[in-house]
Amino acid sequence: MTEPVVATELADGTPPTGGRVEWDDRVTLEITDGLAHLRLARPEGRNGIDMAMVRALTARFDTVASDPGVRALLIGADGPAFTVGGDLRHLGGQAERLPAELDEMISLYHRTLGRLAALPIPVLVAAHGAVAGGGLGLLWCADLVIAADDLRIATGFVHLGLSGDGGSSWHLPRLVGLRRAQELIMGGRVLGAEEALDWGLVTRVVPAAELAGEALAQARALAAGPTYSLGRMKRLLSESWAHSYPEQLAAERTAIVDCARTEDAKEGLAAFIARRGPRYLGR
């Protein structure tokens, strides 16, 4: 994997709009006005995930997580597919050491997904084309998923004699229920965009030509929002599975009192009373 460099162009050849841009041979990252825009940038391989891709993702998420100025993260992809999941050509060439290769790759990938899910900022995914296998983990960790109308979702592991990775066995029963999760994971069902919306796997479906603009507008709105309270909302929702109802009520009380101490809460109330748009600082 090459070392990241400061770039003068994005992966599609367009100049950045400001801020800083980093890339390597698998993933690009642009940070501008509080919005981190990460893109899978291996279109010739349909953004298949190999060890180099995992390391690139980890490095980019490290940058996002360590930057206090980042207020939202948008994840997209270049090429005809968001990601087809594991790079089967790469894995096929590792047949003699497949267990060791998968163990090393998935250990790092799962640690990275855990960090992505725990980010205290909104995460939005703009998904198009195929999203499959372990690559689905990027969707499951998102707070919002805007999908193009050409989306196709499939776990696919049943066709490979593998059990799966990327967190699908944890997320899918919670998102769609056990029976539908069994159909997707064990039955190998493929879902189109409207089915994914109906099942609750994506937030919204838009025409493919409008995906980039819609996702960017939504991500910029999130980046301009009350970052601290958005982070506490994320935490409340994610921890609710492990809480009893009284415990969740107590967590809500603690969170809202903490939010009330922020300048953003004061600004939100003042803006509402004055009937103007709020100007959040994101602290």
- Nearest CA to 169 out of 189, 185, 183, 156 is that of 185
Burial readout 35-54 (b: 16 or more C-beta within 10 A, e: otherwise): bbbbbbbbeebbbbbbbbbb
Classify the C-alpha dihedral 76-82-88-90 as positive or negative.
negative
Question: What pLDDT sits at residue 25?
Answer: 79
**What pLDDT does 19 receive?**
64
Which CATH superfamily does the domain covering 5-223 fall into?
2-enoyl-CoA Hydratase; Chain A, domain 1 (3.90.226.10)
Which pLDDT score is estimated for 273? Answer: 97
Q: Which two tokens stand for residue 5?
A: 């460099």
Inter-CA distances, 227 with 26, 67, 120, 142, Å: 29, 13, 8, 16
Close Cβ partners of 227 (under 8 Å, ≥ 6 residues apart)? 71, 72, 120, 121, 264, 280, 282, 283
What pLDDT sits at residue 3?
35
Where helices occur in the chain by DSSP H, the ranges are 51-66, 88-92, 98-118, 136-140, 168-176, 178-185, 193-199, 211-223, 227-239, 245-260, 263-274
Closest by CA position to 221, among listed 77, 72, 26: 72
Residue 89's pLDDT is 84
Task: Give me the pLDDT at residue 90, please.
Answer: 81
Please give the chain's pLDDT, 283 residues, in tens. 333 333 333 334 443 445 666 667 789 999 999 999 999 999 999 999 999 999 999 999 999 999 999 999 999 999 999 999 988 888 888 778 889 999 999 999 999 999 999 999 999 999 999 999 999 999 999 999 999 999 999 999 999 999 999 999 999 999 999 999 999 999 999 999 999 999 999 999 999 999 999 999 999 999 999 999 999 999 999 999 999 999 999 999 999 999 999 999 999 999 999 999 999 998 6
Q: Which pLDDT belongs to residue 264?
A: 97
Work out the angle between the directed axes of helices 227-239 and 245-260 (0-180°, nearest 10). Answer: 170
Please report the pLDDT score of residue 8 as a whole number: 33
pLDDT at 22: 65
Say if CB 166 and CB 107 are below 8 A apart. Answer: no
Task: Return the pLDDT at 95.
Answer: 79
